[in-house]
């Protein structure tokens, strides 16, 4: 791989934030002794300087297709190696001052290559797809289904049939036979021997138990005591009782009038 020296130097010393910096001991290729160097990690490129204040790096390692392994040699404490897959590729050996520094550098260098970033991106995409799939499934379960509400125990609506025979208002039938009008039974008035009618007999009393209720009576004005009974005719709170009471009064007046009229007719021939 050919790199432009100026571009690499500018990238190593520019103000872009580094991924990791620190001192490490680097083993030389010809001189096998360890030399203390200042390292800067940016992306997949590891720069090393002779001193921290140096303006130009003395070398760079491109961390692509490499593996970071710990050295098993007892003489090299806190040492690790950067190895590549190529047969003739150089092996870079470095050592840290302590165990914590060595572990932090090994972790940072192992994650610096684009291959590792590619694996991380694929894993994140897989996790994102799983989260989206779970969100879609939960949304589908929570979405209410459109259906027509059905009332439990409800039956189909059937229009009520109305018979004209039941609704017709019929007049009184034969004598002594009761007929029904507006839910109230009444009988044809019978004739008295003197030609006076007893009035209509209403059977729509308040205490009837055949299940048929008489038509509602318009509310009457209450008295001071709050009772619906008439002060003139006590005990007439029900419509049938009130009707009987007035019917008797009218019948008595009619009988009295007929008697007086009959007396006058009987007296007229004698005079």
Give the closest residue to 63 by CA, choosing from 112, 2, 28, 124: 112
Beta bridge partners of 83: 67
pLDDT value at position 87?
79
pLDDT value at position 204?
47
Q: Tell me how far apart the alpha carbons of residues 12 and 28 are, in angstroms, rounded to a whole number.
A: 21
Q: How confident is the model at residue 88 (pLDDT cuts 50, 70, 90)?
A: confident
Helix, coil or strand: residue 83: strand
Residues 199-242 pLDDT 10s:
444 444 444 455 556 666 666 555 555 555 555 555 555 667 77
Report the 10 Å Cβ neighbour count for 91: 12
Q: Tell me how far apart the alpha carbons of residues 91 and 94 are, in angstroms, rounded to a whole number.
A: 10
Whether 81 has a pLDDT exceeding 70, the answer reads yes
Report the 10 Å Cβ neighbour count for 78: 19
Identify the CATH number of the domain defined by range 5-114.
2.30.29.30
Whether 82 has a pLDDT exceeding 90, the answer reads yes
pLDDT (average), residues 8-36: 90
DSSP string, 81-94: EEEESSSS---EEE
Q: How confident is the model at residue 9 (pLDDT cuts 50, 70, 90)?
A: confident
Report the 10 Å Cβ neighbour count for 228: 14
Whether 1 has a pLDDT exceeding 70, the answer reads no
Residues 146-197 pLDDT 10s:
655 555 555 554 544 444 444 444 444 444 444 454 544 545 555 455 544 4
* Residues near 134 by beta carbon (within 8 Å), at least 6 away in sequence: none
Beta bridge partners of 184: 181
pLDDT value at position 227?
52
Query: Are 54 and 37 in contact, with CB atoms under 8 Å apart?
Result: no
Q: Tell me how far apart the alpha carbons of residues 260 and 91 are, in angstroms, rounded to a whole number.
A: 151
Residues 109-133 pLDDT 10s:
999 988 888 889 999 999 999 999 9
Entry pTM? 0.48
The phi and psi torsions of 126 (rounded to 5 degrees) equal -65, -45
Return the domain boundaries, the chain.
5-114
pLDDT value at position 65?
87
pLDDT value at position 3?
74
């Amino acid at each position: 791989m050919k790199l432009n020296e100026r571009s690499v130097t500018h990238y190593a010393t520019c103000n872009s934030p580094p991924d990791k910096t620190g001192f490490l001991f680097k083993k030389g290729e010809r001189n096998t002794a360890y030399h203390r160097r200042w390292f800067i990690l940016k992306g997949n490129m590891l720069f090393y300087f002779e001193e921290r204040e140096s303006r130009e790096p003395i070398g760079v390692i491109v961390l692509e297709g490499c593996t970071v392994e710990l050295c098993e040699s007892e003489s090299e404490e806190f040492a690790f190696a950067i190895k590549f897959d190529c047969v003739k590729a150089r092996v870079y050996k470095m050592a840290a001052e302590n165990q914590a520094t060595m572990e932090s550098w090994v972790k940072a260098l192992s994650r610096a290559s684009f291959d590792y970033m590619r694996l991380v991106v694929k894993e994140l995409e897989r996790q994102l797809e799983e989260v989206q799939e779970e969100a879609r499934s939960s949304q589908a379960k929570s979405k209410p289904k459109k259906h027509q509400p059905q009332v439990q125990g409800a039956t189909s609506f059937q229009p009520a049939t109305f018979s004209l025979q039941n609704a017709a208002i019929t007049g009184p039938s034969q004598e002594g036979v009761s007929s029904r009008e507006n839910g109230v039974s009444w009988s044809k008035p019978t004739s008295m021997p003197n030609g006076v009618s007893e009035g209509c007999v209403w059977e729509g009393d308040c205490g009837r138990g055949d299940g048929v209720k008489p038509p509602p009576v318009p509310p009457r004005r209450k008295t001071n005591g709050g009772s619906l009974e008439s002060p003139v005719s006590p005990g007439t709170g029900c419509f049938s009782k009130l009707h009987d009471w007035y019917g008797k009064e009218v019948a008595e007046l009619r009988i009295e009038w007929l008697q007086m009229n009959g007396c006058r007719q009987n007296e007229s021939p004698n005079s």
